[in-house]
Structure formats: C-alpha cells, structure tokens
C-alpha cells in the first residue's frame, strides 16, 4: 500500500521544511503549497489524504480555505489539521467551526504532528 500523502500549506519556508522533514521521516509523502490557489490546485489534482494548514496565508486565510474544502462534496472528506502559532481559545473555536479535524499550535513536538496525522487518517 502506498504511503499516505499530506499536503502542507504554509507560506513560511522554515515551517514548511520542518513539517516536510518530520512527515517524510515517518513515511508520509508530502506536497506543499504557499497559498490557497496552489493548495486548491493540488487538492483537486492530487487528492491528498490529509492537509496540514497554516491560517496566516496570503489573500485567503486557512480558516476560509478549510471552509471551502469542507463545502465542496469532492473534497469534504479530506481531514484538515490547522497548524498555527495561535493558541487562543477563540482561534481553536474558529478552527472547529471551519471544519478542521484538530488545531495544533506552533511550535510543537514532532510527535504531535505525526500523532495528529495518524489520528485523522485512522478516522478517514
């Protein structure tokens, strides 16, 4: 069985590299996008198994992007993990309201990223 593919959406190259390294080290294939347009193109063309999404993106924020993915019948089943520097309760609530599987706060331990991906894939 091929490895699951995770799309990482983040406009910060350092965060993108860290998440990519962690996930690949644990056997996942990764795709990357720096904005909503790139992310939607990859989602429609490649159908990743999960999305690791920052909320601070150019033009369209990660919460709006999550809503768009969840509102489209073709992509609604793809689990989305919000991965952001904000730990505010209201931002966690926004993540849940947008339809995210969970909300991780940067920085976090590598195992937290891997465990979140494993959990969402086990429920998909």
pLDDT tens digits along 7-49: 999 999 999 999 999 999 999 999 999 999 999 999 999 999 9
Q: How many CB atoms lie within 10 A of CB 62?
A: 25
Q: What is the pLDDT of residue 124?
A: 66
Dihedral sign of CA atoms 17, 106, 64, 114 in order: positive
Tell me the average pLDDT across 82-104: 95
Q: How many other C-beta atoms can be found within 10 angstroms of the C-beta atom of residue 100?
A: 26
More confident of the two residues 86 and 47 = 47
pLDDT at position 61: 92
Strand ranges (DSSP E) for the chain?
5-9, 29-33, 50-53, 80-84, 102-105
The reported pLDDT for the residue numbered 98 is: 97
Report the pLDDT value the prediction gives residue 123, as an integer from 0 to 100.
82
Q: Which residues contact 88 (CB under 8 A, 6 or more apart)?
A: none
List of domains in the chain: 5-123 (3.40.50.2300)
47-64 per-position pLDDT tens digit: 999 999 999 998 899 999
């Amino acid at each position: 069985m091929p490895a699951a593919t995770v799309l990482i959406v983040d406009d910060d190259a350092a965060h993108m590299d860290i998440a990519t390294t962690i996930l690949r080290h644990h056997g996942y294939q990764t795709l990357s996008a720096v904005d909503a347009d790139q992310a939607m193109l990859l989602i429609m063309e490649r159908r990743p198994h999960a999305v690791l999404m920052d909320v601070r993106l150019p033009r369209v924020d990660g919460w709006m992007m999550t809503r768009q993915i969840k509102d489209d019948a073709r992509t609604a089943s793809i689990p989305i993990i919000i991965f952001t520097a904000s730990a505010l309760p209201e931002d966690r609530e926004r993540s849940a309201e947008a339809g995210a599987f969970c909300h991780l706060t940067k920085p976090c331990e590598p195992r937290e990223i891997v465990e979140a991906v494993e959990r969402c894939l086990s429920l998909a």
